[in-house]
């Protein structure tokens, strides 16, 4: 499919077979190298996963989220417009652009729901979506947007909730959650997500937005309690609520 650029963890590529990839490690916000790779490698398909995603890090460095999620997306779109060789551009967004989900909501968010992001991370992702749709309508760039739930699975980066809490529980340390933990999230296993993106890549319609998720939603506090049960530790003494 001509996809030969990736933001990657080298050990993960070794697991799946490095011979299948040409990996170029660079800055998504640098137009020159991005344009060079598109042309030299004859790239005709982009799956744009690149973005800082961990909201905890947001409070340390807002600028990096804006630079990568908005400006980085702009650079990709603009270079795709200039080269004129892209047949499909998959923009990977997040369900957080919808805002917080009510625990007792009867009907969940759908693709036409209003975007109401509640933190700078989800706001930058919503902004990136607006750029993507603008390039689709103004320049006929063949884009598809996918709004995904939280993903978990093997080899995930250690900052993510499920893996982080499993490791903390294994070490006998407390599990810190922001606020009261009543905010609701959906969680998807990485293999299911990969299979879904394969369908989106080959079968779904250009110009459309697709939710990638599940109807089963859980409060963060309940996920944390389930992890406590797995390790036979007392949630009352091992869960610590911290200020957001």
Residues that are catalytic:
95-96, 121
Q: Check: CB of residue 187 under 8 Å from CB of residue 150.
A: yes
Residue 8 to residue 17: CA distance in whole angstroms: 13
86 contacts 47 by C-beta, under 8 angstroms: no
Cα 93 from Cα 91, distance rounded (Å)? 6
Q: Distance (Å, rounded) from C-alpha 242 to C-alpha 168?
A: 16
Measured from the Cβ of residue 34, the count of other Cβ atoms closer than 10 Å reads 24
A 10 A CB-CB count for 105 gives 11
CA distance 239 to 228: 9
205 close to 111: Cβ distance less than 8 angstroms: no
Q: How far apart are alpha carbons 213 and 149 in whole angstroms?
A: 5
């Amino acid at each position: 499919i001509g996809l030969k650029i990736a933001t990657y963890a080298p050990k993960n590529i070794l697991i799946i077979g490095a011979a299948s990839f040409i990996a170029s490690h660079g800055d998504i916000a640098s137009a020159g190298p991005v344009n060079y790779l598109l042309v030299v490698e004859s790239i005709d398909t982009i799956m744009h996963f690149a973005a800082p995603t961990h909201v905890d890090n947001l409070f340390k460095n807002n600028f990096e989220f804006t630079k990568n999620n908005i400006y980085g997306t702009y650079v990709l779109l603009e270079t795709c417009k200039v080269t004129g060789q892209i047949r499909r551009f998959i923009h990977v967004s997040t369900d957080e652009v919808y805002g917080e989900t009510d625990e007792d909501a009867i009907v969940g968010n759908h693709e036409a729901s209003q975007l109401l992001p509640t933190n700078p991370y989800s706001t930058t992702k919503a902004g990136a979506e607006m750029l993507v749709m603008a390039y689709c309508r103004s320049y006929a760039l063949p884009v598809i947007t996918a709004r995904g739930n939280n993903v978990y699975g093997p080899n995930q980066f250690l900052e993510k909730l499920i893996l982080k809490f499993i490791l903390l529980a294994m070490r006998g340390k407390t599990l810190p959650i922001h606020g009261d933990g009543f905010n609701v999230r959906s969680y998807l296993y990485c293999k299911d997500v990969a299979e879904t993106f394969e369908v989106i890549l080959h079968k779904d319609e250009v110009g459309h937005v697709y939710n990638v998720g599940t109807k089963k939603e859980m409060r963060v506090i309940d996920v944390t309690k389930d992890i406590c049960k797995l390790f036979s530790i007392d949630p009352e003494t091992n869960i610590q609520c911290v200020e957001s």
